[in-house]
Amino acid sequence: MKLQDRVAVITGAGSGIGQAMALLFAREGARVLAADVNGGAAEETAQQVTAAGGTCQAMTVDVIQPDQVKAMIERGQSLYGRIDILCNNAGIGSTTDVVGCEPDEWDRVMTVNVKSVYLGCKYVVPHMLSQGGGVIVNTASVAGMVGIVKRAVYCASKGAVIALTRQVAVEYVEQGIRVNCLCPGTVDSPWVGRLLAETDDPVAARQGLVARQPIGRLGTPEEIAAAALYLASDDASFITGTGLVLDGGWTAR
Ligand SMILES: NC(=O)c1ccc[n+]([C@@H]2O[C@H](COP(=O)([O-])OP(=O)(O)OC[C@H]3O[C@@H](n4cnc5c(N)ncnc54)[C@H](O)[C@@H]3O)[C@@H](O)[C@H]2O)c1
């Protein structure tokens, strides 16, 4: 059990990658607070974890609201007495180019994808400092590393997550806080299912997504959760300020 006696707070835990993190972290011994703006989905995750013998509470949290993010950290602390791991995972997509992206959409995506990470760090760091350390795992994307057509603000937002990860990592490295991010390629989560459903030809669109990844398939939420577990665990004790790329070779060619 790699996370025995650890406490993890995970945002976006009602679906996809965040849900897989909650299930895996609990299986590895962590007590989990599963947060999501969709409270019913967070509750569903908590029930799945509990049914599998783990410990998990659900909380409705909109990660763009400072008071709600603060309350999430306080709840984790009051429920379990400490917070060892924060996964800033909640995020939304966008499918516009820089001309088609309206200012409201720009603000919305940057707020959900970037401000949320700032807020999570802002409120969890004091707790981690007072307990002598902790681990933050942010979910960025390969979109923060390469340009992707029709993903203007999404690419910008994930690039910002990678940059903020580095900054927070160097700020608190001497106080025992490690901060890293995940850079997944395309992962077969409900999000991608929704994206494909909006296209004229979902089968062809799916093939297009697969073709970007030399490995010849999409990733799974469980594969991303396994990387999050690695970064969150003591196995990654020498790793801070980096992005772990999980993209089936997308950025290698
Ligand atoms: N699926 C992919 O291909 C892929 C690739 C790279 C990175 N990512 C990143 O992984 C993360 C999770 O994506 P996923 O694929 O699991 O998507 P998903 O849509 O399946 O799950 C995202 C969850 O985040 C929640 N959420 C959205 N806005 C929120 C808010 N304001 N407050 C709290 N919760 C909110 C949603 O309700 C949902 O439960 C995102 O940050 C995404 O950018 C996904």
For the segment 181-208, what is each residue's pLDDT rounded down to a tens digit? Answer: 999 999 999 999 999 999 999 999 999 9
DSSP string for residues in 77-138? HHHHS---EEEE---------TTT--HHHHHHHHIIIIIHHHHHHHHHHHHHHHHT-EEEEE
Q: Which of 80, 118, 123, 154 is catalytic?
A: 154
DSSP string for residues in 186-238? -B-SHHHHHHHHTSS-HHHHHHHHHHTSTTSS-B-HHHHHHHHHHHHSGGGTT
Instruction: Give the confidence band of 51 by pLDDT, cuts at 50, 70, 90.
Output: very high
Whether the CB of 120 sits within 6 Å of ligand 1:
no
* Residue pair 88/11 in contact by the 8 Å Cβ criterion: yes
Q: Match domain 7-184+220-245 to its CATH number in 3.40.50.10420, 3.40.50.720, 3.40.50.150, 3.40.47.10.
A: 3.40.50.720
Whether the CB of 14 sits within 6 Å of ligand 1:
yes
How confident is the prediction for the chain on average, in pLDDT?
Answer: 98
Residue-level pLDDT at 216: 98
Instruction: Give the confidence band of 32 by pLDDT, cuts at 50, 70, 90.
Output: very high
To the question of pTM greater than 0.95 for the whole model, the response is yes
Whether the CB of 13 sits within 6 Å of ligand 1:
no
What digits encode the pLDDT tens for the residues 76-116? 999 999 999 999 999 999 999 999 999 999 999 999 999 99
* Residue pair 23/13 in contact by the 8 Å Cβ criterion: no
154 belongs to the catalytic site? yes
Question: Stretch 63-83: mean pLDDT, rounded?
Answer: 98
Beta-ladder partners of 180: 137
d(CA 122, CA 218): 33
In the chain, domain spans: 7-184+220-245, 187-218
Residue-level pLDDT at 78: 98
Q: How far is CA 216 from CA 127, 160, 186, 209, 245, in A?
A: 42, 28, 11, 9, 16
Whether the CB of 91 sits within 6 Å of ligand 1:
yes
Ligand 1 mean position, distance from CA 91 (Å): 4
d(CA 235, CA 159): 26
Ligand 1: which of 187, 210, 212, 250 to mutate, most ligand atoms within 8 Å of CB? 187
Residue-level pLDDT at 140: 99
Question: Stretch 4-30: mean pLDDT, rounded?
Answer: 98
Ligand 1 mean position, distance from CA 100 (Å): 22
Ligand 1: which of 19, 37, 138, 218 to mutate, most ligand atoms within 8 Å of CB? 37
Ligand 1 mean position, distance from CA 94 (Å): 12
Residue-level pLDDT at 199: 94
